[in-house]
Structure 1
Amino acid sequence: MLTLRKKNLNYKKIFLFIILIGTFLYMTFLDYDNIKLLIHNPNKEIQEVKKIIIKLFFSILGKLVIFFIFLSIYMHFQRSLKIKRLQKRLALWSKLSYYIDKIGEEVFNELTIGIIVINTTNNTIEWINTYANKIFNNPDINTSLNLINNQMAELLNIKEKEQQIVLKIKDKYFDCLYKKEFNVFYLFDATQRERVQTLYHRSTPALIFLSFDNLENSLKNLDFSEQSQIKVEYLSAISDFFEIYETYLKQLSDDKFLLLLKREQLENMILEKFSILKNIRNISEKYKLNITLSMGIACYNLPFNQLAYYSQSALELAQKRGGDQVVINIENQKIQYFGATKTSLNTNSKIVSRVNSEIIKDLIQKHNNCFFMSHKNPDLDAFGSMIAIYKIASILNSDQDHYIIIDTIFMEKNFKNIYENLNKENPKLLKNIINANKANKIINKNSLIIIVDNQHLEILDNNELLNLTDNIIIIDHHRSSEKIISNKFAYIDASASSTVEMIMELIYFLNHPVYISPLEATIMYGGMIIDTNFFTSRTSARTLEVASRLINMGAESQKIKLWLRQDFDQILEMNRLLSRMEIYMKKFAIITSDKPINDRSFLAKVAENSLNVQNIEAAFVIGELSDNQIGISARSCSDNINVQIIMEQMNGGGHINSAASQIKNSNIDNVLLELKNILKNEYQEGNENMKIILLEDLSDKGKKEEIIQVNPGFGNYLIRTKKALLANPQNIKYLEQNKKIKEEKEQQKIILMTKLKEEIEDKQITFQIKIGPNGEMHGKITPKNIIDELYKSHNILLDKPKIILDNEINALGIYKANIILKDNIIAALTINVKAKKS
């Protein structure tokens, strides 16, 4: 369009230029005779020539004057046209500007969009529109944004140009958009959308598979009537528990059940922490049976066949972890675990060991060379397991070379002593112990990697090697989690004392002679001693049977004792840390180190020694590690305390009696506080409640900023969902300071509103209205008219919702309008309506 205009303008200029040239030539042609006379009669007298020249000059000059007069008239005419066009355009713009101002005013004050402009120098409200006033209950100008809404105040510190969050204000939800460039907040009502989402969230289907652990084996020696009586008691406990939540329960077999429910019901069960597990344990203890309950739960918006698959997988994970627990898989959430307060039931039979032995045998013979790995900083159980499985592979696939992968650079001092002893007595084995770099050059697609005493990628000695082959076997005695390494076969038995115990059982069923030297047997025996804490925990008849076989192979307890000796300086440091022990809840030992810890295993040793203190059931040692992490080692000597569950809540893991975690981007004080909260939540005795500070109103519970007492499960749920804060001294102090600031602001507002009331009651506003021939008044005076007139007459600006009229003002007379400035502060304004003189 712009190009077309330019072309038209060029054409006009060319046309004008042609007219000018033509006019000039025409005028010149009129003087052609005089010019010709001068050219063809050069001998004429001078006087006559002069006359001709003068005549010619004035003729041309006159023509030029006439030409320029016409040109001026033309230019003036063009300028006049241009001015008229500009005047029309200006009039149009003025009209549009008026309508735009009206539309803008309507958007700002009438539409349901809240707008707040912020003064960023002191983070106060600079301007607020009518709808935002209504949302926040009419805050004053220059009020701190922190007093209005903390979430909005936090947005002032963002680095991005804009950011959007969802606010819950009273019973409504709002999309809050902050524009940093203009220091303005926009609020859009999102209540209907959020309610639909909440309804969708609460109605998400959930499916539960329940299974009794060890039911058949425990009841097989009882007569039929006793079995029936006990089963009825178990079934009644399950039926009574789930009836409360109005779920659908279906028995699939003697020991398995199906449960259908919604997410809202599931979340209520989570708050109660599945007390059904304890009810089943109580019945089992009553009849002295090893029967527990495991549950796998899936909650996804998926067809029921897929939901059943997820639920079955969760149940299998619960059973792999030792049973007596609930595994919950909720869409877009980390897998949760409940229960498992008891040591895993020993449900593994010799038949299971024999079957697994055959599977592993076939896999070893099917592939080429084998490589054996464990976790970082391997202990005696890991090293002994790798030696044991290496011996098996050497017999089953003797024509191939097999390798143990250990990085000797990072070995602990005690471990190096063992390594040196092995070098003296069995140098042939030592040649087949390689590091990850060398293994990287040897492993091919047909190689087999066997991971022992570990199933988690995060703590694997070298996880890059797993990219070289898909043939992976896992043999481990730790409880499973959803983070298990992808594998072709996993043999996991959480009831086993150690991985050495599991592999020695595999050797028993191989039907191939496997020679184990006395030193190798001693290393394996040492692994069992450490993992069972000298056979004081996780020790079964299977454990003692394997230990007896190792002793027969030449295992020496005295040599193990020498390997486990500690340096003098380490003993002094351990005793110093033990002197810093804090006894928490009368049964937990908590130690924090005030110095950096270079050896992670040292934390475990301090924790083990802490269990020697009378009445201590579990110990936790926290220290700052060299790699900018906070390490925590946990040990338990009680069947009632599962330190693995505790560490999993702190992004760690392990076994029921020994676990650990490494936490990044934190400090010792925060880790200690988190640990204490978890311990209090999991093991607080009786029905003692926890105190919390509500961050929003909760029906039947309390109001915002009120301190209430709730059960620990519900309290922690509110804290996780940011609906409450823990009522610790620091948060209570902040609450009191916040209340004090609000009270001062409130008092200032009362004083201001009282003065405003006196000022309004001393004033009067007058309306002069045109009336009809019969004295009638057309229309009525609205609160907006009153606001405008009060501002115009007395420079007092009020909001529309603050004016209440007893009757409509639709006739002449004197009226009273009540102006609610604040609760119990009401000003009466006199309004005089007169007839306008014609």
Structure 2
Amino acid sequence: MKPKYQTALWVLTILLLLLTVIASAVLYHRGIRYGFLYSLPAFLLAAITGLTLLDSHHSRIRYIAKLNHECTEAELATFQQLDMGLCVLDEEGILLHYNDYFSEKILDAEDMFGKKLSAFLPLDTEVEFQEIHWQDCFYQVRSVPYEGEEKRLTAFLWSDITELEQTRQNYQNSRPCVMLIMVDNYEDLIQNAKESTRLEISATVEKLLEQFISQTNGILKRLKNDKFIAILEEEHIQRLIAEKFSILDEARNIRADEKNCLTFSIGVGHGAATMQESEAWAVQCLDMALGRGGDQAAVKTDSGFRFFGGVSKGVEKKSRAKTRIIAGAIQDLILNSANVYLMGHRFGDLDSIGSACGLAGAIRLMNIPVNVVVDPEKNLSKQLIAIVEEEMGKELFLTPQQAIDTITEDTLLIIVDTHNKDILESLELYQAAKKVVVIDHHRKTVNYVDNAVVFHHEPYASSACEMVTELIQYFKLNAEVNACCADCLLSGIMLDTKNFVMRTGVRTFEAAAYLKKIGADTVKVKGLFSGSIASYKSRAEIVGSAEIVGCHAIAIAPEGTPEIRLVAPQAADELLSISHVNAAFVIYTVKDIVSISARSFGAVNVQVIMEQLGGGGHQSMAATQIMNISEQEAKERLLKAIEETEKD
């Protein structure tokens, strides 16, 4: 209690006692024998207040006696003269002494003698140095323990570093950051447009970005027709992050024509030691944003990347110039290698195995030894593999261990239908390879293959088989690939497009037409999708057990369901046929690992939902695997991820 308040309370207590005595005497003289009872409450209140003040006074006396016992008079005088806060605590954290600076600046002149300091101050008494934010000020606190005559004491020195902290914050807020902005699909938008339309689109883009940058104190420069660079301060980057890059929504409201709208991809480099490093981070983030389909911003963080936007469908690029150049580069690598290994993801499906087999047929026409690396037991394409073995020979396929044992420095490893290190058919084979090529259509993930000589990545393509079909058309071959290879490639396209319903573009149908032209048999390919009666019943059981939550269907597969890795995504596809269901999720367990297969028609971005659970995929097709968790817990996490996504 503050001393001035103690004095006032003493005066009030004495006055109250006097008034009580006077009132009792007056009542008695007027013949009211028990009149003193009327004054009893006031008397008790005064007595309690007096006793409390006496206890506080005695506590102060005990404190002074204890401190005088521990410290000399010279030491106490020195404490008061310090130009910083000082307090002394005993082993129990009881406040034994503090100087005037500590009393005025930190305690606000409150009397805290003999009380526990940690009860009202966020002080950790166990550390030597700490920083504390208290009452709009920042303090650096140092503890100095010493042995008293009776017990161990600790002195705490409080240095006001508010000005230094403000300088540090101003420095951090003013750090320059690099932001790269690219207009998605700019060349395709203006390719067949009139000159006036081209100028209008260019002016609209520039005006929108200038208005965007004018809200900050940054600068904006155009690097190319479709690419800009902006230099901003850190505080403005933090504001943009808090606003979740609202410019993405503003751009989406601008129509380039009846079918297409403007979208941006943004990469932000901030928090780096140098401007050069910030620019490198911005390039890396822009690559991630583009690799995930565009229409989003990517920001590098300590733990990886943070993404904003990505709600629109990836825009198909009609130009094949990039494909033609990459096809030439890949063929040069193949011809300059001793042999080629083709590898997809674990539990290879028709797109993974089909694209590998189709590409293997083209490489054979170059007279280069080639093998497809696949686990013969753990895959979802046993029917396709059996057909290829019959048509192209069993020697085409190698197990992961056989490939590891025979790989050389001159072997080229081509990875298809994935770029994620975590789900490769054989991580050890990838690590042993000196030359790596990646061909994939999935949206880019953080743990991607980062040492590829050629990284052919088109997130707007329907499938890896579509990408391989386009590549082999630009290979310089003496003949067309055989009909078996065409069947393999068509099967992958049909799988990932759900028979040309989902994720199809003009180039998808052009690729299918080319495959039909060189001998693909649609009836034969359709036979690859046939399943057993057991899998059909399992699929029906999963669909029947689904729970509808809002516009989402969630089902948990019964334990022991046969061919569950194949059945789960099929069941998710069937759930989408239910009215008002925009996304479907099937949860199942294989060897203590809970998996979730997610599907949608595009209105719900299941990739973003699965990424929150450690997975990934496409906007309309994604999955994840979670270890050490029950199916019910996985469902609860899924519902929470859906809720978080809907908030954004």
Could you say whether these structures have the same fold, taking a TM-score greater than 0.5 normalized by the shorter chain as the test?
A: yes
Q: Match for residue 820 of structure 1?
A: none
The CA deviation string for residues 543-602 of structure 1, in whole angstroms up to 9 with x for no partner, is 112212323444344444443344445444444443443444x43333345758894454
The aligned counterpart of 2:44 is none
Which residue of 219, 229, 234 maps to 2:200? 229
1:608 — aligned with what? 573
Which runs of structure 2 are paired with 1:303-452 in the superposition (5 Å)? 303-330=274-301, 332-396=302-366, 398=367, 400-412=368-380, 415-423=381-389, 425-426=390-391, 428-452=392-416
Residue among 463, 467, 492 paired with 2:427: 463
TM-aligned CA deviation for residue 169 of structure 1: 5.2
In structure 2, how many angstroms separate the alpha carbons of the residues matched to 1:581 and 1:172?
56
1:499-510 equivalences in 2 (<5 Å): 499-510=464-475
Query: What per-residue deviation string (whole Å, max 9, x for no partner) do you get for residues 505-544 of structure 1?
Result: 1111123145544444333222111111221111112111
Query: What corresponds to 1:512 in structure 2?
Result: 477
Q: Which amino acid aligns with 2:437?
A: I
Q: Quick check: 1:657 aligned with 2:611?
A: no
The DSSP-based 3-state class of the residue aligned with 1:199 is: helix
Map of 1:587-666 to 2, 5 A cutoff?
587-592=551-556, 595=559, 599-627=564-592, 629-638=593-602, 640-666=603-629
Conserved? CA contact 1:208–1:259, under 8 Å: yes
Residues in 1 aligned to 2:127 and 2:634: alpha-carbon distance in whole angstroms:
34
Counterparts of 1:697-708 in structure 2 under 5 Å? none
Contact 1:281 1:291 in 2 (8 A): yes
Deviation for aligned residue 1:98: 6.4
1:202 matched to which residue of 2? 173
Residue 205 of structure 1 contacts residue 301 of structure 1 at CA under 8 Å; is this kept in 2?
A: no
**Could you tell me how far 1:321 is from its partner in structure 2?**
2.9
Is the 8 Å Cα contact of residues 349 and 379 (structure 2) preserved in structure 1? no
How far has the Cα of 1:102 moved from its partner?
7.9
- Amino acid in structure 2 at the alignment position of 1:403: N
Q: TM-score, normalised by structure 2?
A: 0.76
- For the aligned residue pairs, the C-alpha RMSD in angstroms reads 4.0
Change (3 A) 1:606 1:185: farther
Asked if the contact 1:174/1:187 (under 8 Å) is kept, the reply is no
Aligned twin of 2:54: none
Cα 1:579–1:314 shift into 2, 3 Å: same
The question of whether the paired residues in 2 share the 8 Å contact of 1:208 and 1:296 is answered with yes
Letter in 2 for 1:242: I
Amino acid at match of 1:344: G
Q: Aligned equivalents of 1:667 and 1:114: distance in 2?
A: 52
Rg comparison, structure with higher value: 1
What displacement does 1:419 show? 2.8
SS at match of 1:410: coil
Cα distance, 1:149–1:380 mapped onto 2, change above 3 Å: farther
Contact 2:97 2:113 in 1 (8 A): no
- Measured in 1, the distance between the counterparts of 2:308 and 2:591 equals 33
Kept after mapping to 2: 8 A contact 1:596/1:626: no
Contact 2:414 2:438 in 1 (8 A): yes
Partner of 1:60: none
2:222 to 243, 251, 256: 251
By how many angstroms is 1:404 displaced?
1.1
SS of the residue corresponding to residue 255 of structure 2 reads helix
Q: Structure 2: how far apart are the matches of 1:291 and 1:569? A: 48
Deviates more, 1:131-140 or 1:667-676: 131-140
- Tell me which amino acid in the other structure corresponds to 2:601: C
- Structure 1: which 5+ residue stretches go unaligned? 1-96, 119-124, 156-160, 685-711, 713-838
Unaligned runs of 5+ in 2: 1-68, 145-150
1:422-571 to structure 2, matched below 5 A, reads 422-423=388-389, 425-426=390-391, 428-485=392-449, 486-571=451-536
Residue identity opposite 1:417 in structure 2: Q
CA shift, 1:313, in A, is 3.3
Shift of 1:436: 1.7
Q: Which amino acid aligns with 1:527?
A: G
Secondary structure of 1:495's counterpart equals coil
Q: After TM superposition, list the pairs within 5 Å mapping 1:670-709 onto structure 2.
A: 671-684=634-647
Asked if the contact 1:234–1:283 (Cα under 8 Å) also holds between the matched residues in 2, the reply is no
Distance 1:551 1:224, change over 3 A: closer
Which of structures 1 and 2 has the larger relative contact order (alpha carbons within 8 angstroms, sep 6+)? Answer: 2
Question: What is the distance in 1 between the residues matched to 2:134 and 2:605?
Answer: 41
2:317 partner SS: coil
Number of residue-to-residue matches in the alignment: 564
Residue 393 of structure 2: SS of its match in structure 1? helix
Give the secondary structure class of the aligned counterpart of 1:211: strand
Check 1:225–1:378 CA distance in 2 against 1; reply closer, same or farther (3 A cut).
same
2:462 is paired with a residue whose SS is: coil
Q: Is the 8 A contact 2:96 2:113 kept in 1?
A: no
CA–CA distance in 1 between the matches of 2:564 and 2:117?
50
Corresponding residue SS for 1:308: helix
